[in-house]
Every structure is written in structure tokens, then in C-alpha cells.
Structure 1
Amino acid sequence: MRTRLVALLLAVVLGVGGGAAAALFGDDGGGDGGATSYADPLGLGIPKIDLDCTGEPVLVVGFGDNAAALRNEVVNTPHEDLRYLETSRSCATRWTPSSTDDTFDWVVYRSGDATDLCLDRLRKPIHRRDNVTFLVDGIDERAMCLCEVPATEAPVLQKRTPAAIAPRNEVWIGELQDMLITIDAELRPDAEVRLTGRNRVRGKYGEVMAARISAAQQESRLPETGILDAATWNRITATGCRLYDYR
């Protein structure tokens, strides 16, 4: 026993087998010195729990091919119940944002209720580059979070106001722009007022967005104010959410 402890201490001093040594000593990264009861092959200080295709949602916090790529996300997302998984041993769903077709070996995630996860994605700056995905085999779309939250949670937006350019609203507006671009491409390609990837200013509510919202209000027989209120959010998402297939 004494020989084994000496060998382990020597390994730590020499910087050898950091992850294995941490696991043997029961260091879970929290500094409490208690014995770990979970697998942690990358030494991230959080459990590795692979996920089957259960249909449940997860918030994808980070991804990569090695521990270094994931550790930064773990450190920068404290006080959240994070896990990680090996993609080759988990559900074959959409783990990465729509902006990339790359695949990765590892994913850091958090489980929970779809509405809560999406509200965190939409509201919290730390999650602005994250995505919510559902554990469905073969799905190639991330969740459209506007379809998972009540319209009453969305900000009221009007051009030339602080809310129209506030960083706290950028993800909300960006998601809405993505939805409107999809609506216009699939349902109203010949409309005079359309939103495209070229004429939008991502995450900002300016003249182009106000004109597009006025058009949506006219088509929905709502007052044409150009102000994005809960009723307008609700009408747009009622139309747009039917165009997504991620569950």
C-alpha cells in the first residue's frame, strides 16, 4: 500500500497521468476531497454520461476532440450541472450549431426542461453561442428556441430604442431573423418585403426588421405598428415553427 501511494505521489509531482491520478484520489474538481462516483476519462471534473436517443432536450455548451477543447467551456460555465459525452457512444443527433458541418468526439452539455434550457440560451450571455438539441436519431437541425418558449417571455422591440440594439436582445433578434428568413424563402418567396441573409443586420432591430414586422402584422391583420410585441411574436412563431423538424 505504501509503495502504491509513493508511486502515485511521484506521478503527480512529475505531471504524469493527471486525469487518472485525480480519479484515483477522488478529486472531482470541486476541491472537497471526497471520492468520485462517476467516470471522468478526460479529467474535466464533471461526469461523463453518454446519452441514448430518448427525445429529451440538452443544452450543448461545448464540443471538441480533446480535453483542452472542453476544459475552457467547463471553467467558464460555473454553477451549472454539466456533463459530457462521447459522440460515438451517444445518440446520433445534431450536436453542433447549424453554422458547421464538422463532427467532434466529445460534447459538454446540460440536461433539463426545453423551455428552461432555451430561455438560458436566449437570455444568458454565457450561452449565446450554444445550442439546444433534442436526442432524436438522425436529426440534422438544432432546436429553434423561439418555438420552445412563450411569446410573453420575448422582449418588446421598436426601432430607434435602446432595446433594439441592446446586447441582451441580440440572440432573441438573431433567432427571429433566422425564422423570418426561413418563412420568406419557403412560404412567401415573391413578397415585396422580405428578409434575407443579405439585408439583415444580425441581432439588431432596425429599419429592415421594422418593415418586415409591419408586413407580418398586415398579413396577420394586426395593427401595423412595426413594434414587435407579444401578439406579433406569437403570430410569427405560429407560422414559422411549423417549418422546423427537430423533435
Structure 2
Amino acid sequence: MILRMIGLTAAALALVGCASGPRFPRERYARALAAAPGAAQPSRIVAREIEFLKAAEAQGHYAAAREFAAPQASALTSTGETAATTWGSALDDQEEVGPWSPTIVWMSCDGRLAVSEGRFENRQKLVGSYLTVWQRDRKGDYEWLHNAAALDDPQPPAKTAPGDPGPGAIVVPGLVSIDGNVTDCKIGEAGALPAEPGYKQVLSPDQTLAWRWAYIGDTRIFEVHALTDGEWKRVIEKRWPANVGEGN
């Protein structure tokens, strides 16, 4: 599903390194925060998610999902890949939206493809994780291309985020900060990323970032591979049982 939000903490807007997960060279964060026009800027994905979430609150879930979707967008649900036009029609624009926010963004060097990983809370106060693939259109805006989500199983104890400023702030467990990353810009000796049998794959036009997914048995598998430090690394991996809900 495309997830929902009512506010965003100041801490969530800071593109700084997460306390958990792999560490990367300081110069990559410098590039991730670059403000030069045309440069790969993970902060633009964060801004786009905020726009999308505000639209969902104002217009309704389906209307916002349709507005921000790429023409070929699809949701990777527990029952398989579903075109956004079909999947989105089941969303209820009258229901209250719940909070969500990205925690990690990976962007290709050319800035044309990005993947955000984040946390959400649904209207039943259950929490989970999501992945969204973004592609830049001809106008320079980012549209969502693929989305996948699953509730935590088991659910963590309810708690507020550290430094919670009060009403209106996101209180999704596990949210600390947003980790912005940009891939290397030259393939060099690493070469092209080999295909993986049984997986579907989207590769950035500059071939520095790859998004893969597969349905194997009763498991949904999602991976992000990035060209970093001169080699291909799997920087995000999710394995969700197919019977775990998407968080409606």
C-alpha cells in the first residue's frame, strides 16, 4: 500500500547517518546533501514524500496515490504485483490517514532513480515498514514506481520517538533519522550488476542503482543494490511472509 501521514518531526527531516545499519564515507553524505541544481539529492525524495503525505491528508488516499504515481506504477502486495490503477481503486478516501516517514534513501548518481525505506503506523496503531521506488519524470518531479509494505510481526511495544516534540509529531517506533545516500558515479571495474534468476529488476539509467523483487514460495523478497566504494553492495534487504498484511 501507499502509506499515510499526519505530521513530521524536525529530527526526521535531518539527513544524517542512522544509528543502525552500515556506515559509509563522509564524502558520500556530502554528496547526498548537495544543493547544486541537477545533482543527486536524496533530500528531494524526503520532500516529495512530505508533499505526497500532505496530499493524502487533504485529498484522500486514492486521489493522492493516483496523482503521485508513475504511469506504469504497481503495488507489490502479499497477493502479487498489482497495477496502481487497479490497486488504488480499493483505497478509501474517506478514512483517516496515519503517520509514516522514510528512514533511509538511496539514490543513483544521476538522480533519476531512488528507493526510500521507512516506517509507518496504520489507523489501528499497528506499525510496520515500507519500501518505495521513485523515478524522476521529464519535468524533474519524482513519481512512485513501486511500493511494498508489511506490518511488524510481532508488533513492538508502543512508545514515542526520542525527543518527541508533542502533538502532531510522528511517533513511529524505530524512527530515528533519515540516512541519505548517493551511489558511486562510475561503474569502473565493478561492471554491470548480474541478473538474478527469478527476480524482476529495475536498473537506474546510469546503472549505479538496482531494485529487485521476487515472490518465492510464501515469501516476498525485496533488495536494493548500490554501486558504492567501487563495488556492488546489497544495501537493503527485506523478506516478508506473504500472509503478513500491508497495513491498511
Relative to the length of structure 1, the TM-score reads 0.24
